[in-house]
Amino acid sequence: MEGAVSTARASTKITKKTFLEALRANDFGKLKALLVQRKVDVDTVFEVEDENMVLASYKQGYWLPNYKLKSSWATGLHLSVLFGHTESLLVLLDHHATINCRPNGKTPLHVACEVADVECVKILCDHGAKLNAYSLSGHTALHLCTTESAIACAKQLVWRGANVNMKTNNADEETPLHVAVRSGLPELAAFYVEHGALVDSVNAHLETPLALAAYWALRFREQEYSPQHHRACRLLLAAKAQVNARDEDFKAPLHKAAWNCDESAMRLLLEAGAEANLLDVNGCAAIQYVLKVTPVRPAARPDRCYQLLLNHGAARIYPPQFHKVLESCHACPLAVEVVVNAYEHIAWTPKWKKAVPEDSLERHWDFYHSLFTVCSNTPRSLLHLARCAVRRALLGGCHRAVPLLPLPGHLKSYLLLEPEGVVY
């Protein structure tokens, strides 16, 4: 009796292996024969290598053993989608494979979007796949469309009725629009907006898609700015996104762009009506954010960022704290020049010289010599004082009013704090 059971188990194991080999080779003829002869269950679950976790999905916050991160459970449907074998996929569906099963947390439709296979998406949708089903980690198929090649998959899902405003069922609570802008996919973001996505939907941290687009515009590892995220900002603003929406820490999108020292994003936001003096939960405005990160943003133009903010009415750095500007910006004298020229007069203190390292002082000697000479107990030039008087009269509208004044171009630039490399 035991021998017969052992033989049956061995036969089942061989059949299962044959079934798996046929799936991998897209030998749909053999698959059909095995299923017709009822030698194997169409929903047989395999354990396969999955180091990139394409097939697996787990709940947030759960500890997993290492082996779980290298292999996953999957049915023939999942594997056919993973390999892009549409012929095998159709055979399995014709034999009533369970289309929405998720042995390791994802349905076949989730996997199809993960690998960006639009043909598999079409086939699964045609056979009744649930468009809004959650994975174990709380994502719908739309939330897994995060690459350029997956845009076609997302469009298929939306055209067939997927909920474009459905939030993830996890701690993030993000809509597909949040995911699209964070991933730098402006075309997909525009498509979602055209099909009813709420441009001011908030995630669990009260962040709007505009806030995410502004924040993720800096590729932190490469320290490069992303034109795709800037395009996403532009289209969201065109769709009337709230430019001054605040998250749980009272940060507006401008705070996030300032944290990146991102001149392009800051310009877009300020021109759309961002308030330069909004304070976050710690009492910091955007100009303080730029000040904090200037030394660690090598690709940035902090002088442009300060110029933008000051021309849009940002409050100046408190004069007794000006040494912090030098501590942060000593390697970028143009930034120091822009900030110092926003004051009618400011006198240097011993903290100033301590704030500028010797190597920066030597490298930019002409500038720092002019700075310390001008910022003594003598008044600034009449030209500078006239500039300050005009700017004071225009309040926070310098960016709008100065270009309209009947003045030569170089004087307009002077009024708008365009740096010249020396203070006088």
pLDDT per residue as tens digits for the range 95-115: 999 999 999 999 999 999 999
User: Mean pLDDT of all residues in the chain?
Assistant: 94
Does residue 20 lie in a domain region? no
Would the pLDDT of 318 be above 60? Answer: yes
Does residue 368 lie in a domain region? yes
Residues 6+ apart with CB under 8 A from 92: 31, 35, 42, 76, 77, 80
The pLDDT value given to residue 6: 61
Does residue 6 lie in a domain region? no
Does residue 281 lie in a domain region? no
Domain holding 363, by residue range, is 321-424
The pLDDT value given to residue 355: 95
Residues 6+ apart with CB under 8 A from 305: 258, 261, 262, 263, 266, 290
The lowest-confidence range among 62-66, 198-202, 404-408 is 62-66
Q: What is the pLDDT of residues 367-417, one digit of tens each?
A: 999 999 999 878 899 999 999 999 999 988 999 999 999 999 999 999 999
Does residue 331 lie in a domain region? yes
Cα–Cα distance, 88 to 24 (Å, whole number): 9
Structure tokens at 131: 């468009």
The pLDDT value given to residue 302: 96
Q: Is 312 helix (H, G, I), strand (E, B) or coil?
A: coil
Would the pLDDT of 56 be above 80? Answer: yes
Percent pLDDT > 70 in the chain is 96
Query: What total of structural domains would you count in the chain?
Result: 1
**pTM score:** 0.91
Would the pLDDT of 175 be above 90? Answer: yes
Would the pLDDT of 8 be above 60? Answer: no
What are the beta bridge partners of residue 218? 225
The pLDDT value given to residue 5: 52
The pLDDT value given to residue 12: 76
Average pLDDT of the residues in 135-159? 98
The pLDDT value given to residue 308: 97
Residues 6+ apart with CB under 8 A from 184: 216, 226, 228, 229, 232
Q: Is 56 helix (H, G, I), strand (E, B) or coil?
A: strand
What is the pairing mode between strands 218-219 and 224-225? antiparallel
The pLDDT value given to residue 350: 92
Average pLDDT of the residues in 188-212? 98
Does residue 386 lie in a domain region? yes
Q: Kindly provide the b/e burial profile for residues 304-317, where b requires at least 16 CB atoms within 10 angstroms of the residue's own CB.
A: bbbbbbbbbbbeeb
Would the pLDDT of 7 be above 70? Answer: no
Evaluated on CA atoms 176, 177, 183, 188, the torsion sign reads positive
Does residue 183 lie in a domain region? no
Does residue 18 lie in a domain region? no
pLDDT category at 69 given cuts 50, 70, 90 is confident
Q: Is 105 helix (H, G, I), strand (E, B) or coil?
A: strand
Structure tokens at 360: 């920066």
